[in-house]
């Protein structure tokens, strides 16, 4: 029913229903809400079980303003005013804020942020799966060996768990690639993307090859997303200079190891009931990224994020008694924001929320830790003074010239030139006269303050939501790298596995020393600080 509604909705201009006979929100209403929230808070119990399973959802570019706008957007699609609602993950009992800066940048990119929450260390802008020793865009074999870091995907496999990841982007794109690849440039997705000067050195593998040839990529049980063009030449378009067919190499590897496998390319193959009988599944449903939700139509063959993720969970649930790790990325939220396409960004966010809701109902939260977060935010604002229930995609206020502007705006991006005019009172000031324009259309570009062909990220903290074993460890404000440590600690894997801790009896003491040193530095009123 949801898929039918989504397809129908995507085919037309967005029309949000008008709500009539709204209830009066007097004092009793707010007291009742507060009482219910207090009762919920009293019932929150810390789940200190070991996490058998971990599922982490990443809304790429899903900053706090995106969550707020998507919450209203979803509510208005459902016939309500919108502000009073919640996205599903906003109901999770544990919430934290995460600092997203890179080692060398105030405002981050997705490669370095994904390295942080998947590997537990912060690193340099635009590098991937490497610590801050790595030099951007430069192959160096010695530095490469020293800079390589293991991800939570490797930790999970080392612990005996089955693993998988799902994305609406190319599977070689920055966020999923940080699970399995190590590279000084996140854009080196195929050999064709590597500059000739670096390619000739011969020891920097492109990301697609690393996924097929190296651990932990080659040992990942289920991988679903886009990006077929990075693994072999598609049609008449050359995307690999080496002419390798990495999909065939993946099949050959599984055959040689005597395991069952299946490669799939469309949603019909994904829904085949015999699919889950295989030991390995690789699904690449588009040569590039999976289409935006609002661009789906009757000819779209790629599955939705909901379909891919629920299939992955069913597959991972059926086999391994030791549990599983699954990463899921709603990656096209970010892409829509880069283009100043607010409607598409919000629809992608709602699709992620619906996916999380479906998965939450499929798993046992007594032994499954679910984390929802973003890699970074965007310069995307919910602003002006629109009335309650005003269309979130509509006009929200007027400027000093009496001209309307939208509730949703961007700080940077391609939205500025559209319909741009000069003010008759102040010719130095550009503005857009939106009178008569349909700002609710899915292709409408919200106005930006600074013109860029591609909108920039934002640097503010992003939220993280959690439920399940050890979810209470996500509280307060933390570095983004902390998320990987929570997953490792909750599941007793990676640096927190019993074997690792037994091998390194200095770990606990060094950890305590680091914490004490950190507290001394951060507290200006500590004895140590006052003495010095």
Does 175 count as an annotated binding residue? yes
222-226 and 162-170 beta bridge pairing: parallel
Find the distance separating the first CA and the last CA of the chain, reported in whole Å: 66
Helix (H, G, I), strand (E, B) or coil at 134: coil
Per-residue pLDDT, 282: 98
Residue 327, token pair as written in the block: 């990463």
Helix (H, G, I), strand (E, B) or coil at 132: coil
Per-residue pLDDT, 429: 56
Q: How many whole angstroms separate alpha carbon 509 and alpha carbon 458?
A: 37
517 is catalytic: no
Q: What are phi and psi of 196, to 5 degrees?
A: -55, -40
Q: How many whole angstroms separate alpha carbon 346 and alpha carbon 349?
A: 5
Does 334 count as an annotated binding residue? yes
Kindly list the distances between the CA atom of residue 32 and the CA atoms of 37, 44, 72, in Å, as whole numbers in the listed order.
9, 19, 21
Domain ranges of the chain: 51-379+456-496, 381-454, 506-531
Give residues with Cβ within 8 angstroms of 133, minimum separation 6: 143, 146, 147
Per-residue pLDDT, 396: 92
Per-residue pLDDT, 375: 98
Helix (H, G, I), strand (E, B) or coil at 38: helix
Q: How many whole angstroms separate alpha carbon 493 and alpha carbon 158?
A: 8
How far is C-alpha 350 from the chain's CA centre?
A: 13
Per-residue pLDDT, 88: 98
Q: How many whole angstroms separate alpha carbon 144 and alpha carbon 203?
A: 10
User: Which of the listed CATH numbers 3.30.565.10, 3.40.720.10, 3.10.310.10, 3.20.20.120 matches domain 51-379+456-496?
Assistant: 3.40.720.10
Per-residue pLDDT, 312: 98
Q: How many whole angstroms separate alpha carbon 451 and alpha carbon 439?
A: 19
Task: Return the ∠ at Cα 362 (arms to 359 and 367), rounded to 5°.
Answer: 95
Report whether 329 contacts 171 (CB < 8 A). no
Residue 76, token pair as written in the block: 């208005």
pTM of the model: 0.90
Q: How many whole angstroms separate alpha carbon 197 and alpha carbon 181?
A: 21
Task: Give the ranges where 125-266 is alpha helix by DSSP (H).
Answer: 141-147, 152-158, 174-177, 196-199, 207-213, 246-256
Report the candidate in 383, 373, 346 with the shortest Cα–Cα distance to residue 462: 373
Residue with tokens 């810390």, as numbered in its chain: 46
List 110, 239, 353, 455, catalytic entry: 110
Residues composing the chain: 532
Does 83 count as an annotated binding residue? no
Per-residue pLDDT, 305: 98
Per-residue pLDDT, 236: 83
User: Could you tell me the mean pLDDT of each successive run of 10 residues in the chain, 532 residues long?
Assistant: 33 42 76 95 96 98 98 97 97 98 98 98 97 92 91 98 98 98 97 92 91 98 98 89 96 98 98 97 98 97 98 93 97 98 98 98 98 98 96 92 91 74 56 81 92 95 98 98 98 92 56 42 40 39
Does 376 count as an annotated binding residue? yes
Q: How many whole angstroms separate alpha carbon 50 and alpha carbon 175?
A: 26
Helix (H, G, I), strand (E, B) or coil at 34: helix
Give residues with Cβ within 8 angstroms of 511, minimum separation 6: none
Residue 257, token pair as written in the block: 């190891």
Does 127 count as an annotated binding residue? no
Quick one: DSSP state of residue 484? H
Report whether 497 contacts 150 (CB < 8 A). no
């Amino acid at each position: 029913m949801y898929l039918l509604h989504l397809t129908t909705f995507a085919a037309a201009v967005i029309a949000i229903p008008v709500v009539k006979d709204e209830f009066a929100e007097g004092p009793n209403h707010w007291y009742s809400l507060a009482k219910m929230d207090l009762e919920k808070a009293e019932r929150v119990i810390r789940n200190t079980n070991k996490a058998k399973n971990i599922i982490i959802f990443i809304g790429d570019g899903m900053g706090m303003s995106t969550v707020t706008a998507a919450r209203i957007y979803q509510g208005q699609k459902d016939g309500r005013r919108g502000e009073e609602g919640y996205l599903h993950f906003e109901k999770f009992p544990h919430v934290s804020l995460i600092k997203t800066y890179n080692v060398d940048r105030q405002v981050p990119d997705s490669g370095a942020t994904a390295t942080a929450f998947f590997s537990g260390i912060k690193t340099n802008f635009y590098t991937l799966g490497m610590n801050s020793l790595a030099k951007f865009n430069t192959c160096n074999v010695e530095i490469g060996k020293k800079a390589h870091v293991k991800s939570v995907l490797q930790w999970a496999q080392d612990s005996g768990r089955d693993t998988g990841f799902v994305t609406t982007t190319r599977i070689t794109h920055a966020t999923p690639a940080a699970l399995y690849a190590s590279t000084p440039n996140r854009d080196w997705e195929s050999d064709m993307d590597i500059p000739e000067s670096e390619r000739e050195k011969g020891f920097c593998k492109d990301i697609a090859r690393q996924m097929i040839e190296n651990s932990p990529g080659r040992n990942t049980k289920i991988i679903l997303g886009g990006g077929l063009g990075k693994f072999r030449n598609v049609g008449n378009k050359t995307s690999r200079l080496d002419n390798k067919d990495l999909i065939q190499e993946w099949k050959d590897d599984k055959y040689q190891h005597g395991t069952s496998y299946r490669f799939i390319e469309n949603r019909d193959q994904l829904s085949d009931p015999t699919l889950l009988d295989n030991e390995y599944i690789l699904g690449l449903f588009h040569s590039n990224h999976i289409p935006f939700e609002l661009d789906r139509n009757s000819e779209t063959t790629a599955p939705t994020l909901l379909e891919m993720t629920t299939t992955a969970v069913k597959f991972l649930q059926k086999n391994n008694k030791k549990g599983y790790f699954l990463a899921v990325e709603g990656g096209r939220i970010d892409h829509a924001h880069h283009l100043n396409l607010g409607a598409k960004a919000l629809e992608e966010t709602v699709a992620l929320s619906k996916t999380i809701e479906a998965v939450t109902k499929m798993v046992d939260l007594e032994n499954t830790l679910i984390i929802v977060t973003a890699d970074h935010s965007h310069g995307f604002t919910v602003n002006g003074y629109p009335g309650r229930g005003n269309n979130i995609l509509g006009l929200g206020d007027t400027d000093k010239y009496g001209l309307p502007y939208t509730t949703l705006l961007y700080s940077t991006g391609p939205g500025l030139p559209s319909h741009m005019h000069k003010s008759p009172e102040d010719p130095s000031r550009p503005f857009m006269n939106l009178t008569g324009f349909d700002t609710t259309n899915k292709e409408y570009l919200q106005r930006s303050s600074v013109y860029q062909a591609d909108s920039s990220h934002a640097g503010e903290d992003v939220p993280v939501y959690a439920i399940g074993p050890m979810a209470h460890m996500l509280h307060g404000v933390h570095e983004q790298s902390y998320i990987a440590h929570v997953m490792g600690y909750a599941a007793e894997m990676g640096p927190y596995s019993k074997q690792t801790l037994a091998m390194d009896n200095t770990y606990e003491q060094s950890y305590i020393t680091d914490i004490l040193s950190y507290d001394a530095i951060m507290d200006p009123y500590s004895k140590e600080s006052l003495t010095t």
